[in-house]
Amino acid sequence: MAAAAKGLPMVDLAPFFTSDREDDGARAARASAIEAVVEACRTYGFFRVVNHGMPRELMSRSLELSSAFFALPDEEKAKAAAETGSATPIPAGYFRLPSHSPENAEYLLMYQPHLGHNLYPADPHEFREALDECHEKLAKLGILVQEILAEGMGLRPGFFQEYTDSDSSFHFIAALHYFPATEEDGSVGLSKHEDGRALTFLLQDNVGGLEVLKDGEWVPAEPIDGTIIVNIGDLIQVLTNKKLKSATHRVVRKPGMHRHSLVYFLSIDADKWIEPLPEFTDKVGEPPRYRGFRHREYAELRNRNKFQPPATPEEFYNINYYAI
């Protein structure tokens, strides 16, 4: 069941972890949660989850260790710099946005099974172990959410996993640090955008700053202890022919406050062909809203936005590039 929680719907996933899965009450609770997730993805594109299987202690410890890394001197963080020419879709390691970017943030990107590649935190073993455990828990949560969406959208069990299982290099966890807002550079932490992958899972500290665009208004996703924020990305929007929403969102920095978060991106295999599914087009008498494309092609276009920021907004690539 979903409830309003400071702007975003909240869904309790406890029914999916109960031992009495065949009990009538448990089945009803699962059906209610599935309905709530699908409705949130149709309307907001975002929702919160509680009782998600990730211990609060792990969430808070991981954010603390991430904060410790970003507090290191610049020359120390530079030792973890992303390697050019990496085989992964985005180079793993430390990355600071260019000075001409309107955003003021820095990142540490890590992949499974190469977690820890290029890391240089104050305590590498503790940080690596925490992030490894985060990745494991969030990957399991990703499987659960995929199954919830498949059932809720009338698709067969395991449908979305067939798109996401074979190429783990497109799934990654990122630690993010947003600097305090200043009069000189404003409050932009992350410009308004939509996520280019399948699903995103966010752990954030108590600073907040995430905002979701709904019906023309920015809805703050204020921190709520122990919750994880989930959102739909462009690839799910295309597959469902825009039945599910890849919502526009942004991060606003606050004066005098550093913001830290951990984000897990669950993506679709690089070589998969992405186009609206017949279940949401031909079979229901609706035209496709997007032309098909190879995921790798779209990922490369999106990466140009981040690592070679466009000079004008018109040069920014998003999913509308494939819109019909």
pLDDT in tens, 312-322: 666 678 899 99
pLDDT of residue 86: 44
pLDDT of residue 12: 96
Give residue-wise pLDDT tens across range 288-312: 999 999 998 998 888 777 666 666 6
pLDDT of residue 31: 95
Angle at alpha carbon of residue 33, lines to 247 and 263, rounded to 5°:
45
Q: Is 108 left (phi over 0), alpha (psi -120 to 50) or beta?
A: beta
Tokens (6 digits) for 111:
């992949």
pLDDT of residue 5: 44
Residue 33 lies in a domain: no
Angle at alpha carbon of residue 115, lines to 78 and 303, rounded to 5°:
65
**Beta-sheet strands, E only, within 225-322:** 228-232, 249-252, 259-266, 273-274, 293-294
Which three-class secondary structure state does DSSP give residue 232? strand
Q: What is the 3-state secondary structure (H, E, C) of 152-206?
A: HCCCCCCCCHHHHCCCHHHCEEEEEEECCEECCCECEEEEEECCCCCEEEEEECC
Look up tokens 């023309």; give the residue: 216
Query: Is pLDDT at 22 greater than 80 in this prediction?
Result: no
Residue 316 lies in a domain: yes
Query: Is pLDDT at 211 greater than 80 in this prediction?
Result: yes
Query: Is pLDDT at 3 greater than 50 in this prediction?
Result: no
**Rg of the chain on CA atoms, in Å:** 19
Query: Is pLDDT at 43 greater than 90 in this prediction?
Result: yes
Residue 76 lies in a domain: yes
- Ranked by mean pLDDT, which of 24-28, 71-75, 116-120, 293-297 comes out on top? 293-297
User: Which residue segment(s) compose the domain that 210 sits in?
Assistant: 54-322
CATH number assigned to the domain comprising residue 103: 2.60.120.330
Q: What separation in angstroms does the CA of 39 have from each of 2, 94, 129, 285, 289? A: 9, 37, 36, 22, 20
How many domains, the chain?
Answer: 1
Residue 275 lies in a domain: yes
pLDDT of residue 83: 67
CA distance 131 to 309: 28
CA distance 207 to 203: 12
% of the chain exceeding 90 in pLDDT:
54
pTM for the model: 0.90
pLDDT of residue 126: 82
The model's confidence at residue 16, banded by pLDDT at 50, 70 and 90, is very high
Average pLDDT, the chain: 85
Sequence-distant (≥ 6) Cβ neighbours of residue 9 within 8 angstroms: 2, 3, 36, 39, 40, 43, 44, 46, 47, 48
Cβ atoms of residues 249 and 193 within 8 Å: yes
* The residue type at 242: K
The model's confidence at residue 115, banded by pLDDT at 50, 70 and 90, is very low
Residue 310 lies in a domain: yes
pLDDT of residue 77: 83
Residue 283 lies in a domain: yes
- In whole angstroms, what separates CA 271 from the centre of its chain? 20
CA distance 263 to 145: 16
Which three-class secondary structure state does DSSP give residue 241? coil
Tokens (6 digits) for 84:
């050019």
Residue 195 lies in a domain: yes
pLDDT of residue 121: 52
Question: What integer is the mean pLDDT of 40-65?
Answer: 96
Query: Is pLDDT at 114 greater than 80 in this prediction?
Result: no
Query: Is pLDDT at 93 greater than 90 in this prediction?
Result: no
Residue 174 lies in a domain: yes
Buried b (16+ CB within 10 A) or exposed e, 181-211: beeeeebbbbeebbbbbbbbbbbbbebbbbb
